[in-house]
Structure 1
Amino acid sequence: MANVNQEGAWAQRAEAEIPTARREEELERALAHGLPGAPTLTDRTIPTFARGELPHFAGERGTFLKCPYVEDVHEVGDAEVAVFGVPLDAGATYRPGTRFGPQGIRRSTNLFGTYSYELGVDLREQLNLVDIGDVFTIPGNLEKSFDQISQAMSHVVQQGTMPVVLGGDHSIGFPTVRGLAAHHEGNIGIIHFDRHVDTQETDLDERMHTTPWFHATNIRNAPATNLVQVGIGGWQAPRAGVKVGRERGTTVITVGDVERVGVERVAETALEIAWQGAEAVYLSFDIDVIDAGFVPGTGWPEPGGLLPREALNLVRLVSEPGLAGIEVVECSPPYDWAEQTALLSARVILDSLAVQVRAGKLGRKAAARPRAAWGPTP
């Protein structure tokens, strides 16, 4: 009788003869350059920042605006602004796909140059901007992913570098603020653009992308009274979250409010509340705040949101006094069309950075040592 598993048996034996030296070198490099993983991870070969084959949805696949890539995150302090991705969609309650958001946003910036005509800024010439790759997230475990994200955020902020985070679903808002707040003595204000309040305690029994601000505003120096939410409305605002915001004293500004009083007045109010008694302000921009007709590639599309021009004008206005960090979340490339959602996600970051450079809040830190020239990542 023929041996039915002849090839299978041979393949098992053959695997034992294949060397593992390069894999071991890769793991060693990942831990050296990407930092050891959060203490809650059992597998101690996993770094904080992905460096190598795993995970397959993260890693070195081009940089934001083709800026220099920093392999060793210990060197991030040489930069003024560091971009990193958080490829996570484990917190999505409806449409997944935001784990591919960092890739999609970076790829969309291939369309842009580094110079803005209206803003009169060239980021290549005026800003020490680098990309440090993606956080190594754990798809099946939100809490371990949160620990990885907080550790990554903390590392960047501790080095004196401004973080720019490419999401990822909006559950990351809690661990990013947690990592940021740990390095500020005073209060952190949060300006949050979204169609959804995201303030309920749990959703589907977990801390999902509908819950970040309940948990972030439990942090001692990130009080709810410094949380301003712009663009809220529609048919996807859970009453449990509305109740929390009412009880904690958050400020909600709807799209109707924007129409009624105008972009300038809304931005003025947002800045006044977010900065009241605070030493720094963080910008969290959920791309679904923009009308769903312009951003099809997102987890919870909601018609009736802001127009792109309104959203970008608001971002410019609230960014001008300077920010402690930026995150853009909920870009889901599998649902996108013609990169519309990714392009708008990138524009939020580019416009925010540019107005901060123009205002003199950024663009004052030269590189401590020569870096690779701007251009395609090797």
Structure 2
Amino acid sequence: MRERWFRPGETVARRAVRLTAGVCLGAVTAVVGLAYLVGSGLLLALVLPWPAARRSTRWRVLACARRLAAVDQRRAAALHGDPSAAASLGGDRALVYLAIRGPVGLLGAAVLMLLLYVVVSGAVLMWDWFNGRPTDGLTPSLLTVGALLAGGVVTLFLIAQGIAGVAAMERRLARWLAEPTDREHFQRRIAELTATRADVVEAVNDERRRIERDLHDGVQQRLVALGMLLGRARRSHAPDRAEALLRQAHEQSQQALTELREVAWRIYPTALDQGGLAAALETVAERSSVPVRLGGVPDNLDPTTAAVAYFVVSEAVTNAAKHSGADHVTISVNREGPRLVVRIHDNGIGGADPHGSGLSGLTRRVAALDGSLRVDSPPGGPTTITTELPCA
């Protein structure tokens, strides 16, 4: 329970004060919430015969209920240490929250009143005894004082447990109502799938534009130069000149073939199908201009997951070599439960833009597979790119 209740550097005394303050304020907000529910119920009953007035009144009642619930949730998040308690609630859920919070808050008020009674009664008894005045026919004696002190300590312990229990009930209530219903979950899932489908289309279009740009700026220029050299060789009447032009044309054809292989490799490396992800990443490490240290790579990955992991690593290593100024890159690929976690770390200058064309394209590609990509690149470095992919 320490991870849940204690904050870093917090003492037991400060924790007790914080929880007690939270329960105390919760009792106040519970009374306000119950009073609001009773008043709004009477108001709705008065306007029940008029549909237009009923709809308008109901809308205002729900809006005010959301505000009251939000205030109480902020209290719970601040004093009970649960950030999830601050999640916003819809109108109907806000009314349910106020209705359930009422008895819980009154229970907390009862516990606090018992605490106040025990503290005041104990103080009065101790004052009378130390001043030599009998209380209720009792004479001061060590045995009597010891028995009452022991009973007081036990009672205070039970009260402390009651305060902690009330705070726990408030946390569970906030979490329970903050969880989406099945309908909301499906609506959210449909929205995510719609967004990822659009992202996939955009990523495919970006990939096509990149391929077109690579072909136009690289291979096409080589082929144009090759055609010009061959044309000049055909028109040349000097054998030596024609031979030199043909030699240049042969070199241009070799360079064009190399660039065409590079474009094909960036589209989809054949090593993925022949040797799996490990072989493809070893090729990335060999072709990189920056030293790359590659850890063990799991086997038997499905082709889709392996392809996405490869493109993430390839793009990250390319960016590190071009922009980061790093002198080494470390790649780790591990299974963690049902997910494949890929981390690329470099010791460069940092400052990578997650919304740049390269990384944003990777983010869309990863999201299409229900994965996540996180970029940690503060100015001055280092840069760590972490990708989590579902892995059967």
Per the shorter chain, which TM-score range? under 0.3
Larger Rg: 2
Structure with more of its chain in strand, by fraction: 1
Of Structure 1 and Structure 2, the greater helix share is in 2
TM-score (norm: length of structure 2):
0.22
Higher relative contact order (CA 8 A, sep 6+): 1
